[in-house]
Amino acid sequence: MDKVLLLTRREIASYFVSPIAYVAMALFLVITGFFFALSDFRPGAPAAMRSIFDMMMIILVFVLPIITMRALSEEQRSGTIETLLTAPVTDVQVVAAKFLGSWVFFLAVLAPTLLYVVVLAAFGAPDLGPIASGYLGLALLGSAYVAVGLFASSLTKNQVIAAVTGFVILLMLAMVGPWLASLAPPPWRDIVQQAAIRTHYLDFTQGVVDGVHVIYFVVLTVYALFLTVKVLESRRWR
Protein backbone atom coordinates (compact mmCIF):
# COMPACT_ATOMS: atom_id res chain seq x y z
CA MET A 1 0.00 0.00 0.00
CA ASP A 2 2.89 2.24 0.88
CA LYS A 3 4.32 1.76 -2.61
CA VAL A 4 0.95 2.39 -4.28
CA LEU A 5 0.72 5.75 -2.49
CA LEU A 6 4.30 6.65 -3.44
CA LEU A 7 3.61 5.89 -7.10
CA THR A 8 0.23 7.64 -6.98
CA ARG A 9 1.89 10.77 -5.65
CA ARG A 10 4.43 10.69 -8.46
CA GLU A 11 1.64 10.19 -10.96
CA ILE A 12 -0.34 13.20 -9.70
CA ALA A 13 2.79 15.34 -9.59
CA SER A 14 3.63 14.41 -13.17
CA TYR A 15 0.16 15.57 -14.28
CA PHE A 16 0.68 18.97 -12.77
CA VAL A 17 3.87 19.52 -14.73
CA SER A 18 2.42 18.21 -18.00
CA PRO A 19 1.17 20.79 -20.50
CA ILE A 20 -1.21 18.29 -22.07
CA ALA A 21 -3.02 17.78 -18.77
CA TYR A 22 -3.58 21.55 -18.52
CA VAL A 23 -4.85 21.65 -22.09
CA ALA A 24 -7.33 18.88 -21.30
CA MET A 25 -8.36 20.69 -18.13
CA ALA A 26 -8.89 23.98 -19.95
CA LEU A 27 -10.80 22.26 -22.74
CA PHE A 28 -13.08 20.59 -20.24
CA LEU A 29 -13.77 23.76 -18.26
CA VAL A 30 -14.38 25.91 -21.34
CA ILE A 31 -16.84 23.45 -22.84
CA THR A 32 -18.71 22.76 -19.61
CA GLY A 33 -18.74 26.47 -18.78
CA PHE A 34 -20.21 27.19 -22.20
CA PHE A 35 -23.00 24.65 -21.76
CA PHE A 36 -23.63 25.73 -18.20
CA ALA A 37 -24.10 29.32 -19.32
CA LEU A 38 -26.25 28.27 -22.26
CA SER A 39 -28.61 25.73 -20.72
CA ASP A 40 -28.54 25.67 -16.93
CA PHE A 41 -27.77 29.25 -16.01
CA ARG A 42 -30.63 31.07 -17.73
CA PRO A 43 -33.50 33.11 -16.42
CA GLY A 44 -36.48 30.80 -15.99
CA ALA A 45 -34.51 27.58 -16.05
CA PRO A 46 -34.69 25.40 -12.93
CA ALA A 47 -31.76 26.02 -10.58
CA ALA A 48 -30.21 22.62 -11.33
CA MET A 49 -27.23 21.17 -13.21
CA ARG A 50 -28.99 18.36 -15.00
CA SER A 51 -28.21 19.31 -18.56
CA ILE A 52 -24.57 19.93 -17.81
CA PHE A 53 -24.24 16.58 -16.03
CA ASP A 54 -25.80 14.96 -19.11
CA MET A 55 -23.37 16.76 -21.39
CA MET A 56 -20.37 15.70 -19.34
CA MET A 57 -20.99 12.06 -20.22
CA ILE A 58 -20.10 12.98 -23.81
CA ILE A 59 -17.48 15.66 -23.14
CA LEU A 60 -15.48 13.32 -20.92
CA VAL A 61 -15.37 10.71 -23.68
CA PHE A 62 -13.05 13.14 -25.46
CA VAL A 63 -11.28 14.69 -22.48
CA LEU A 64 -10.35 11.71 -20.28
CA PRO A 65 -8.44 9.69 -22.89
CA ILE A 66 -6.27 12.78 -23.37
CA ILE A 67 -5.58 12.80 -19.65
CA THR A 68 -4.80 9.08 -19.42
CA MET A 69 -3.09 8.55 -22.77
CA ARG A 70 0.46 8.99 -21.54
CA ALA A 71 0.09 7.06 -18.28
CA LEU A 72 1.44 3.74 -19.54
CA SER A 73 2.35 4.42 -23.18
CA GLU A 74 4.99 6.98 -22.24
CA GLU A 75 6.57 4.54 -19.77
CA GLN A 76 6.82 2.03 -22.59
CA ARG A 77 8.15 4.53 -25.11
CA SER A 78 10.85 5.95 -22.84
CA GLY A 79 11.74 2.57 -21.34
CA THR A 80 11.01 3.63 -17.74
CA ILE A 81 8.60 0.69 -17.63
CA GLU A 82 11.70 -1.47 -17.27
CA THR A 83 12.98 0.33 -14.16
CA LEU A 84 9.44 0.45 -12.80
CA LEU A 85 8.69 -3.24 -13.20
CA THR A 86 12.12 -4.44 -12.05
CA ALA A 87 11.64 -2.67 -8.72
CA PRO A 88 10.05 -4.88 -6.06
CA VAL A 89 6.49 -3.84 -7.00
CA THR A 90 3.74 -5.97 -8.52
CA ASP A 91 1.93 -5.21 -11.76
CA VAL A 92 -1.28 -4.77 -9.75
CA GLN A 93 0.34 -2.10 -7.57
CA VAL A 94 1.58 -0.25 -10.64
CA VAL A 95 -1.84 -0.27 -12.31
CA ALA A 96 -3.61 0.68 -9.06
CA ALA A 97 -1.30 3.67 -8.66
CA LYS A 98 -1.76 4.74 -12.28
CA PHE A 99 -5.53 4.54 -11.81
CA LEU A 100 -5.58 6.47 -8.54
CA GLY A 101 -3.27 9.15 -9.94
CA SER A 102 -5.36 9.72 -13.04
CA TRP A 103 -8.65 9.56 -11.16
CA VAL A 104 -7.52 12.04 -8.51
CA PHE A 105 -6.36 14.36 -11.29
CA PHE A 106 -9.78 14.00 -12.91
CA LEU A 107 -11.44 14.97 -9.61
CA ALA A 108 -9.14 17.99 -9.46
CA VAL A 109 -10.27 18.95 -12.98
CA LEU A 110 -13.86 18.56 -11.83
CA ALA A 111 -13.40 20.64 -8.68
CA PRO A 112 -13.66 24.10 -10.32
CA THR A 113 -17.15 23.20 -11.58
CA LEU A 114 -18.31 23.41 -7.95
CA LEU A 115 -18.30 27.14 -8.66
CA TYR A 116 -21.43 26.58 -10.74
CA VAL A 117 -23.18 25.34 -7.60
CA VAL A 118 -22.13 28.52 -5.82
CA VAL A 119 -23.36 30.65 -8.72
CA LEU A 120 -26.70 28.80 -8.78
CA ALA A 121 -27.08 29.24 -5.04
CA ALA A 122 -26.38 32.93 -5.36
CA PHE A 123 -29.07 33.51 -7.98
CA GLY A 124 -31.61 30.84 -7.07
CA ALA A 125 -32.41 28.05 -4.68
CA PRO A 126 -30.92 24.88 -6.19
CA ASP A 127 -31.98 21.48 -4.93
CA LEU A 128 -28.71 20.14 -3.56
CA GLY A 129 -29.77 16.47 -3.56
CA PRO A 130 -29.62 15.87 -7.33
CA ILE A 131 -26.45 17.96 -7.53
CA ALA A 132 -24.73 15.74 -4.95
CA SER A 133 -25.92 12.57 -6.68
CA GLY A 134 -24.83 14.05 -9.99
CA TYR A 135 -21.32 14.56 -8.70
CA LEU A 136 -21.29 11.02 -7.30
CA GLY A 137 -22.34 9.78 -10.74
CA LEU A 138 -19.58 11.86 -12.35
CA ALA A 139 -16.94 10.46 -9.98
CA LEU A 140 -18.05 6.92 -10.86
CA LEU A 141 -18.30 7.68 -14.57
CA GLY A 142 -14.83 9.21 -14.41
CA SER A 143 -13.38 6.12 -12.74
CA ALA A 144 -14.74 3.89 -15.51
CA TYR A 145 -13.46 6.25 -18.22
CA VAL A 146 -10.04 6.51 -16.57
CA ALA A 147 -9.80 2.72 -16.32
CA VAL A 148 -10.71 2.31 -20.00
CA GLY A 149 -8.21 5.06 -20.91
CA LEU A 150 -5.47 3.28 -18.96
CA PHE A 151 -6.26 0.04 -20.72
CA ALA A 152 -5.89 1.83 -24.07
CA SER A 153 -2.64 3.38 -22.87
CA SER A 154 -1.21 -0.01 -21.90
CA LEU A 155 -1.65 -1.31 -25.45
CA THR A 156 0.78 0.99 -27.25
CA LYS A 157 3.91 3.10 -26.98
CA ASN A 158 2.22 5.85 -28.93
CA GLN A 159 0.19 8.41 -26.98
CA VAL A 160 -1.94 9.42 -29.94
CA ILE A 161 -2.91 5.84 -30.67
CA ALA A 162 -3.67 5.37 -26.96
CA ALA A 163 -5.98 8.41 -26.96
CA VAL A 164 -7.80 7.36 -30.13
CA THR A 165 -8.26 3.79 -28.88
CA GLY A 166 -9.69 5.22 -25.67
CA PHE A 167 -12.11 7.48 -27.61
CA VAL A 168 -13.33 4.58 -29.70
CA ILE A 169 -13.98 2.22 -26.77
CA LEU A 170 -15.71 4.95 -24.77
CA LEU A 171 -17.77 6.07 -27.77
CA MET A 172 -18.99 2.51 -28.16
CA LEU A 173 -19.95 2.30 -24.52
CA ALA A 174 -21.44 5.76 -24.14
CA MET A 175 -23.07 6.55 -27.47
CA VAL A 176 -23.24 3.64 -29.84
CA GLY A 177 -24.62 1.35 -27.12
CA PRO A 178 -28.07 2.99 -26.82
CA TRP A 179 -28.37 3.28 -30.59
CA LEU A 180 -27.50 -0.41 -31.04
CA ALA A 181 -30.05 -1.29 -28.38
CA SER A 182 -32.79 0.41 -30.38
CA LEU A 183 -31.89 -1.73 -33.41
CA ALA A 184 -31.40 -5.06 -31.66
CA PRO A 185 -34.18 -7.68 -31.56
CA PRO A 186 -36.03 -7.88 -28.22
CA PRO A 187 -34.08 -10.54 -26.30
CA TRP A 188 -30.81 -8.75 -27.10
CA ARG A 189 -32.18 -5.26 -26.61
CA ASP A 190 -32.17 -5.52 -22.82
CA ILE A 191 -28.67 -6.90 -22.68
CA VAL A 192 -27.19 -4.19 -24.91
CA GLN A 193 -29.23 -1.60 -23.02
CA GLN A 194 -27.84 -2.77 -19.69
CA ALA A 195 -24.27 -2.76 -21.00
CA ALA A 196 -24.49 0.87 -22.13
CA ILE A 197 -23.13 3.61 -19.92
CA ARG A 198 -26.05 5.96 -20.54
CA THR A 199 -28.58 3.57 -18.94
CA HIS A 200 -26.69 3.62 -15.67
CA TYR A 201 -25.50 7.19 -15.65
CA LEU A 202 -28.66 9.21 -16.28
CA ASP A 203 -30.37 8.25 -13.02
CA PHE A 204 -27.59 9.93 -11.05
CA THR A 205 -28.27 13.24 -12.80
CA GLN A 206 -31.91 12.98 -11.78
CA GLY A 207 -31.12 12.51 -8.11
CA VAL A 208 -31.50 8.74 -8.04
CA VAL A 209 -28.69 6.69 -6.52
CA ASP A 210 -29.36 3.06 -7.36
CA GLY A 211 -27.00 0.37 -6.05
CA VAL A 212 -27.12 -1.46 -9.39
CA HIS A 213 -25.76 1.61 -11.16
CA VAL A 214 -22.98 2.01 -8.61
CA ILE A 215 -22.08 -1.66 -9.05
CA TYR A 216 -22.11 -1.26 -12.85
CA PHE A 217 -19.46 1.47 -12.75
CA VAL A 218 -17.35 -0.27 -10.13
CA VAL A 219 -17.39 -3.51 -12.13
CA LEU A 220 -16.58 -1.70 -15.37
CA THR A 221 -13.65 0.04 -13.67
CA VAL A 222 -12.29 -3.13 -12.08
CA TYR A 223 -12.70 -5.08 -15.30
CA ALA A 224 -10.81 -2.51 -17.39
CA LEU A 225 -8.04 -2.38 -14.77
CA PHE A 226 -7.89 -6.18 -14.73
CA LEU A 227 -7.37 -6.15 -18.50
CA THR A 228 -4.66 -3.51 -18.08
CA VAL A 229 -2.80 -5.73 -15.61
CA LYS A 230 -3.11 -8.61 -18.07
CA VAL A 231 -1.63 -6.51 -20.86
CA LEU A 232 1.33 -5.61 -18.63
CA GLU A 233 1.76 -9.27 -17.74
CA SER A 234 1.63 -10.24 -21.40
CA ARG A 235 5.23 -9.05 -21.81
CA ARG A 236 5.99 -12.32 -20.03
CA TRP A 237 4.71 -14.48 -22.84
CA ARG A 238 4.90 -12.20 -25.86
Partner 1 sequence: MGAMIEVQNLTKWYGRTLALDQISFTVEEGRIVGFLGPNGAGKSTTLRILTGFMPPTSGQARVAGRDVLAEGLAVRRSIGYMPENVPLYPEMRVDEYLALRAGLKEVPAGKRRAAVDRVVERCWLTDVRRRLVGHLSKGYRQRVGLAEALIADPPVLILDEPTIGLDPAQIQAVRELIRSLGQKHTVLLSSHILPEVERICDHLVIIAQGRIAAAGSVDDLKEGLAEAQRIVLEVHPGTGGDGPAEVARALGQVTGAGEVRREEAGGGWLRLTVQPVGNADLREALHAVVTQRGWRLREMRREAPTLEELYVRITAGEAAADRPAA
Q: Which residues bind partner 1 (CB under 8 A)?
A: 2-3, 6-7, 10, 13-14, 17-18, 78-83, 85-90, 235-237
Shortest Å distance, C-beta 169 to partner 1: 27
What CA–CA distance (Å, rounded) separates 178 from 196? 6
Cβ closer to partner 1: 88 or 211? 88
Shortest Å distance, C-beta 2 to partner 1: 7
Cβ closer to partner 1: 10 or 42? 10
Spell 42-62 as b/e; 16+ CB within 10 A means b.
Answer: eeeeebbbbbbbbbbbebbbb
Shortest Å distance, C-beta 98 to partner 1: 14
Cβ closer to partner 1: 13 or 219? 13
Cβ closer to partner 1: 105 or 217? 105
Shortest Å distance, C-beta 131 to partner 1: 36
